[in-house]
Amino acid sequence: MLTPSAIRRCFEGAVPAVIATCSPDGTPNVAYLSQVHYLDDRHVALTFQFFNTTRRNILANPLATVQVVDPETAAHFRLYLRYLRTETEGPLFEHMKAKLAGIASHTGMSKVFHLLGSDVYEVLQVEHVFGAAPDPGTSRPDLLPRLRACMADLGVCGDLAHLFDETLGALARHCGIGYSMLLMHDPTHERLYTVASRGYPESGVGWEVRVGDGIIGVAGCERAPIRIGYTAQAYVYGRAMREGFAHGPDADALESEIPFPGLSNPGSQLAVPLALGNRLLGVLYVESRESRRFTYEDEDALVVLAGQLALTIELLAHSAELHAELPSKVPVVPVRGLPVEVRHYAADHSVFVGPDYLIKGVAGAILWKLLRDYAHHGRSEFTNRELRLDRSLRLPDISDNLEARLILLQRRLAERCPFIAITRTGRGRFRLEVGRPLQLVEAPAS
Amino acid sequence: MLDQAHAAFIQRRVSILVGSCNADGVPSLARAYGCRVPPDRSSVTVFLALPQSEALLRDLRASGAIAVVFSRPSTHETLQFKGSVQRISPVDADDRPVMQAYGRSFAEEIAPLGFDESFQDAIMAPVEHEGVAVTFAPLAAFVQTPGPSAGRPLGHGS
C-alpha cells in the first residue's frame, strides 16, 4: 500500500496542495492549502490559517481529500484523511510556522499567511492518481553512505574542538553542505553560543542567540528540527533582529559585539537540535543560497548525525574534567613588547584588550581568573577540573559544557588577540601563553 | 453570476480543481483540463480526464453537487464556483482544441515560476487522455484569493 513517506517530496510546498471537504448538507468545497506536513506513515498535518469554509466543514465532517503534486515529475497523488485535532503550540506548530514563513515570503504572502494551528489528520488511504510512480528517493540517493562517512569521521575525534570542526568539515566533504554552524547551549542564561562555523568570511565564534529566537533558537527551544525551503525574512538573523536583542550592559545581556556570521539571505535553512533525552546540548545549523536545498531525507540524515554528535559531545566533555593527563612539554613563549592593558568589567565579565572588546560572560570570567593567576602567582598550567571547582567563577552546574566555553575562549583569542593564547597540553589540561607584558585593570562598578 | 471578466479569467492560465462528495461525506477531487463558457455565460463546462476522475464522476452523477476552484499561479487570484451539474458527456471533437489551447496557456503560465518543460508536458499530458465534459450552472461564486477579501461572495448579477 502507498504511504505518505513514499511521496514526501510532494509536501515541500513547490506545487500548492488542494483540499476538498464537504458540509453536513453535502455541499462540497475546494480550497488551496499552504502546506502538507509529513508526520509519520499514518498522519499528516495541514496548516490552519483562516476561519473559512474548509475549517467549518472539517469541524462538522472530519473527512477530507487532499491532492498533491510531485514537483519533479508532476505525478498526482490523493490522500484520504480524517481530521483528529489542532495543535497551537509545541514542536509541530513551530516547525509548520517556520516553514509557512518561508512559503509566505516565497509567494509574496508574508502579510497574509499566519499559522493559527496545525491540524493533525489520520491518513486513511493514499492513491496514485496519474503520472510517474512514486519516487521516495531523493536527488541524492546515496545519502546513507554519506551519513556513514560523516559518522566515521566523528568517531576518531579525541577532543571537543576537533569534534566541532570535523562535524562541519564532514558535512562539507561528504554532503556538499558548505555553510554550517555549531552552537552550544548555556542552560543558565537560556541561550546558544557559537563554537564553530564553516564557509563564512568571519567565524562568528561567540555569536549568541536566545533559545526561542529565529530558526536556531526555535529548534533548540522545541527540541525539534526546523527546515525552511525558501528565504523566510522572519527567520533570518539580520541586523534588526540583532538590535532587537540588545538589552543593555547587564550580566544577562546577549552577546551583541559579535555579529551573526551566516548568510544574510539564505534560500534554505535547516536547524537540528543536539539533545540527550530532553536535555538540550546545542544546535547544528546548515544553510544554502539555493531554495529547497534540504530535503526530508537531508533532515533525516542530520537528525541521525545530531544524535551521534550529542552523545560524543557528552562523552568528551566529561572525560576532559574527570581525567587530566600529565602536561606535555610545550615551548614557553617569550614575553616581549610594550605592556598592554587588559580591562575587566565585573557586571557582565566583559574583557577588553587595549581598546578592543574580546569576550564576556562565563568565558570572560574564566579568562580573567586565568590572567590573575598568571599575574599574581606566576601560574600558566591549568586543568578543566580546577575551573569547575573554583567557586569565584560561579560556573553553571555540571550540565554546562565547560570544555565548550574554553573552546570559545581559545578561538576568540586566536582570532582577536595575537599575544594571549590557550594551548591544549593534554586531555582536561591547558596552558595560558602570554607573549606581551599585561597590565590588568579591574574596572570600577558603575 | 458570471461576468465577462470572470468568464475570461477561468478559461486560460488557471489551475482548475473540481470537487464533489458522496453520501457518506467523503469528498472527491480531480484536476480539470480546460473550461468552456457559452456566450450567454449561463453555464460552465469543465473537462475531466476519465481515468483520474472515477470517484468524482460517480459523486457528480449521484449528487449533482459541484465545487470548482480556478486559481492563477502567478498572482494567486482565485475564484470558487459552486453549482449543480446539468450534463455529463464525452469530450467531443470541438472540445479537444479548447483543452489543448488551455494546456498551452497553463504551461506558459507556470514556465516563469521555475517549472521546466518536462514538468509542463507531464502536468498537462491528460489533455490528450480520454475526457469527460461536465457542464454545471453556477449558483454561487466566491473570491478565494488569499487576503482580507477571501471568502467574499461575488454579488449576484455582478
> Which ipTM score applies to this complex?
0.96
Residue A126 lies in a domain: yes
Q: Rounded mean pLDDT of B17-38? A: 97
Nearest CA in chain B to A19: B29
Answer whether A18 touches B (CB < 8 Å): yes
Residue A179 lies in a domain: yes
Q: How far is A161 from A313, CA to CA, in rounded Å?
A: 10
Residue A332 lies in a domain: no
Q: How far is A306 from A174, CA to CA, in rounded Å?
A: 15
Q: In angstroms, what separates the C-alpha of A29 from chain B's closest C-alpha?
A: 6
Q: In angstroms, what separates the C-alpha of A387 from chain B's closest C-alpha?
A: 56
Domain coordinates of chain B in residue numbers? 4-143
**What is the pLDDT at residue A140?**
58
Query: Which residue in the set A65, A75, A107 is minimally distant from B27, CB to CB?
Result: A65
Q: What is the mean pLDDT of each run of 10 residues along chain A (446 residues)?
A: 90 90 96 91 92 93 97 95 96 88 73 87 96 69 88 91 96 95 93 96 93 89 88 64 42 77 91 94 96 90 96 86 66 81 93 94 93 93 89 72 91 94 89 94 82
**What is the pLDDT at residue A240?**
41
Q: Is residue A155 located within the same domain as residue A235?
A: yes
Pick from A123, A299, A278: nearest CA to A187: A278
Q: What is the dihedral of CA A219, A223, A229, A235, to 10 degrees?
A: -20
Task: Please provide the distance, in angstroms rounded to a whole number, between the alpha carbons at the two ends of chain A.
Answer: 70
- Residue at grid coordinates 547551549: A185
**pLDDT, tens only, A122-156:** 999 999 999 988 865 555 568 899 999 999 999 89
The values of phi and psi at residue B19, to 5°, are: -130, 155
Q: Is residue A242 located within the same domain as residue A124?
A: no
CA triplet A197, A199, A204: central angle to 5 degrees?
A: 40
Contact A202, A265 (CB under 8 A): no
Size of interface A-B (CB pairs under 8 A): 108
Residue A417 lies in a domain: yes
Among A269, A289, A322, the domain boundary falls at A322
Q: Is A387 or B48 the better-scoring residue by pLDDT? A: B48
Q: In angstroms, what separates the C-alpha of A64 from chain B's closest C-alpha?
A: 6
Contact A270, A299 (CB under 8 A): yes
> What one-character-per-residue DSSP string does A236-273 give?
S--HHHHHHH---SSTTPPP-SS---S-SS-SEEEEEE
Pick from B71, B60, B61, B90: nearest CA to B146: B71
Structural domains of chain A, count: 3
Q: Is residue A187 located within the same domain as residue A303?
A: yes
Widest pairwise Cα distance in chain A: 89
Query: Which residue in the set B21, B30, B151 is minimally distant from A22, CB to CB?
Result: B21
Task: Please provide the distance, in angstroms rounded to a whole number, between the alpha carbons at the two ends of chain B.
Answer: 6
Contact A111, A56 (CB under 8 A): no
Among A79, A106, A130, the domain boundary falls at A130
Pick from A430, A365, A380, A398: nearest CA to A159: A430
User: Which CATH number characterizes residue A29's domain?
Assistant: 2.30.110.10
- Residue at grid coordinates 540583532: A242
Q: Is residue A288 located within the same domain as residue A426?
A: no
Residue A123 lies in a domain: yes
CA triplet A313, A315, A316: central angle to 5 degrees?
A: 65
Contact A426, A328 (CB under 8 A): yes
All three cell numbers of A112, joined, read 497574509
Residue A328 lies in a domain: no
Nearest CA in chain B to A78: B29
Judged by DSSP in three states, A446 sits in: coil
Q: Is residue A100 located within the same domain as residue A194?
A: no
Widest pairwise Cα distance in chain B: 42
> What one-character-per-residue DSSP string does B67-122 give?
EEEEE-TTT--EEEEEEEEEEEEE--TTHHHHHHHHHHHHHHHHGGGT--HHHHHH
**What is the pLDDT at residue A244?**
39
User: Which CATH number characterizes residue A253's domain?
Assistant: 3.30.450.40
Residue A404 lies in a domain: yes
**pLDDT, tens only, B57-80:** 999 999 999 999 999 998 889 999
Answer whether B153 touches A (CB < 8 Å): no
Contacts B78 to A, Cβ<8 Å: 32
Q: How far is B94 from A386, CA to CA, in rounded Å?
A: 89
Answer whether A244 touches B (CB < 8 Å): no
Looking at domain B4-143, its CATH superfamily turns out to be Electron Transport, Fmn-binding Protein; Chain A (2.30.110.10)
At A22, the amino acid letter reads: C
Residue A350 lies in a domain: yes
**What is the pLDDT at residue A141?**
63
Q: How far is A257 from A348, CA to CA, in rounded Å?
A: 13
B93 Cβ contact partners less than 8 Å away, ≥ 6 residues apart: none
Q: Is A105 or B138 the better-scoring residue by pLDDT? A: B138
Number of C-beta neighbours around residue B16 at 10 A: 22
Judged by DSSP in three states, A43 sits in: strand
Contact B29 A132 (CB under 8 A): no
**What is the pLDDT at residue A327?**
65
Pick from B87, B72, B96: nearest CA to B11: B72
Q: Which domain holds residue A217?
A: 143-322
Answer whether B139 touches A (CB < 8 Å): no
CA–chain centroid gap for B27, Å, is: 16
Among A130, A162, A188, the domain boundary falls at A130
Contacts B51 to A, Cβ<8 Å: 130
**What is the pLDDT at residue A246?**
41
Q: Is A251 or B144 the better-scoring residue by pLDDT? A: B144
